[in-house]
Amino acid sequence: MAFESRHIGNNKGGSGMIIRVLLMGAILVAFVLMLRKLPGVMTEVADNETTSEPVTATYWPESNLPVIQHSTFTLTYDEEHEQAKWVAYVLTKKELNRQFVDRTDWFEMDEAIPTGSSEYYDYKGSGYTKGHLIPSADRAWNRAVNEETFLMSNISPQAYNFNGGVWRELEENVRDWARSNDRLYIVTGPIIGKSTKTIGENQVTVPERFFKVILDFDEPELKAIGFIIPNAATDLPLSEFAMPVRSVEEQTGIDFYNQLIQSDSLEKVLESNFELNLWPVDENRYRMRVDKWNR
């Protein structure tokens, strides 16, 4: 009976408690709003903020294929091979320093592709993993933003030990470089080459290689570097796959910076040269790849 008495309570007393709780809640909300208006009071980035950089088409290569704009990255889709020809985005220290959300790991068709993208089941039992082009970890501060990286238009067939080995190492080093340089312009994608191997009902072509080009376009030290890596496990260091951006352009047929860099002479200098010492890699990470990730 004691439990029954506490549960039902006195109607007048219960109403008073509800009023007090509501008043306290209203006071708390008003206090938070007041703090936000005070000068010098910092607030955290809203969870629903999708980007710290403007999404501008002029950042990215021109394309004869359909260009698809998502909230924090752009891609052009190659229907013949059922995957992106390239994915382009900006990566910043500000983004990487935000509080992370958990990976969604929910792969789904990209309905923004007019002809339809590949499907997750194309990869089932194929012997290849669903390899991200823009990494999930590069878009981890917001649930909706992270979900977009799992759209199948951002996925290419990758060998397991490539995806979890040298490609992972490159992605992690790129995040290090973004933290050191504040902001990087990145374009990445598959190189189909002469491959005729396909997987799944939608006949997704397995690329021979993958590329990534990275541009630091902020003073005081403008610089760029490119990578082309075979779609297979390797014990070779990343330096073996590094090259000038111009070399990547020649092998992909993509002019990466024709819209971003207005000066032809500056574009030529940045694309024709690279200095490995300006892009330091984590040697411990390389050893981890060789000794553990590749196994």
pLDDT of residue 59: 64
> How far, in Å, are 132, 176, 273 from residue 179 at the CA level?
21, 5, 22
SS3 10: coil
SS3 36: helix
Give dist(CA 29, CA 248) in Å, integer: 54
Instruction: Report the CATH fold assignment for 57-293.
Output: Extracellular Endonuclease; Chain A (3.40.570)
Report which of 78, 91, 212 is spatially closest to residue 153, judged by C-alpha positions. Answer: 78
pLDDT of residue 268: 94
pLDDT of residue 46: 44
pLDDT of residue 262: 85
Element (H, E) at 91: strand 83-92
Residues belonging to the active site: 132
Alpha helices (runs of H) in the chain, residue ranges in sequence order: 2-8, 11-37, 93-96, 143-148, 160-161, 167-181, 245-252, 264-272, 283-288
Q: Residue-wise pLDDT tens for the chain (295 aa)?
A: 433 332 333 444 444 554 454 555 544 544 433 333 333 222 233 445 555 565 555 567 877 887 899 999 999 999 999 999 999 999 999 999 998 888 888 999 999 999 999 999 999 999 999 999 999 999 999 899 999 999 999 999 999 999 999 999 999 999 999 999 999 999 999 999 999 999 999 999 999 999 999 999 988 889 999 999 999 999 999 999 999 999 999 999 999 998 888 899 999 999 999 999 999 999 999 999 999 999 8
Per the annotation, where are the binding residues for Mg(2+)?
163
Altogether, the residues listed in the chain come to a count of: 295
